[in-house]
Chains A and B, each alone.
Chain A
Amino acid sequence: EADIYQTPRYLVIGTGKKITLECSQTMGHDKMYWYQQDPGMELHLIHYSYGVNSTEKGDLSSESTVSRIRTEHFPLTLESARPSHTSQYLCASSGFFKEQYFGPGTRLTVT
């Protein structure tokens, strides 16, 4: 049973606001990931982490930033939201057998 949580599930926010998308996993996984997915489109890796205090940018350039202060927590922050940030954001972690577990996603709309 995968235990990976994302909050909020849905967020509508105005341009220029700072937002943080939360992701937590209770499986003790070292590796965690953030993907961005537009409706009907492919997933794109935007950030990943090997473990605590380790973060790297993914394949798709993103204006968001991440932090990994605790193993179980991998939040994503947008300092100044814009309509172009409207998308679904999916968090994942990688297990012992290197299988990926995904959270339910956060659907972000920036007006």
Chain B
Amino acid sequence: KQEVTQIPAALSVPEGENLVLNCSFTDSAIYNLQWFRQDPGKGLTSLLLIQSSQREQTSGRLNASLDKSSGRSTLYIAASQPGDSATYLCAVKLKTSYDKVIFGPGTSLSVIP
């Protein structure tokens, strides 16, 4: 059974710091991995999508890596800003008929001005 975990559960950093969020999954038979951002009481915004054949994706200050063999993904945020404060979730899509997605519990990030 696929399980997704995220470490740390919460993180507080001063503005300008670079930071890394971690995501682990137990079954490497995934179709893709997606990182989302969720602001309080809002929906999820897709940040980066990494297909199983890819190693990393970049968008602006964000870089996500994927190591399927070890069941890990990292989200790197460069030069953090207060506007980055949110909960970050990773999700793996399984190779099932309805594209089942397993979400991690999220990392709550707070960037202090």
Interface residues of A (CB under 8 A from B): 2, 6, 31, 33, 39, 42-43, 45, 48, 50, 56, 88, 90, 92, 94, 97-105, 107
Contact = CB atoms under 8 A, between A and B. Distances in A.
B91 interface: yes
B105 A100 contact: no
A105 B42 contact: yes
Of B43, B46, B49, B101, most A-chain CB atoms within 10 Å? B43
Interface of B: 31-32, 34, 36, 41-46, 49, 51, 89, 91, 93, 97-101, 103, 105-106
Contacts of B32: 97-99
Tell me whether chain A's interface is mostly helix, strand or loop, or mixed.
strand
Contacts of B91: 100
A98 B42 contact: no
A102 B44 contact: yes
Given A42-B105, A42-B106, A98 B99 contact: yes
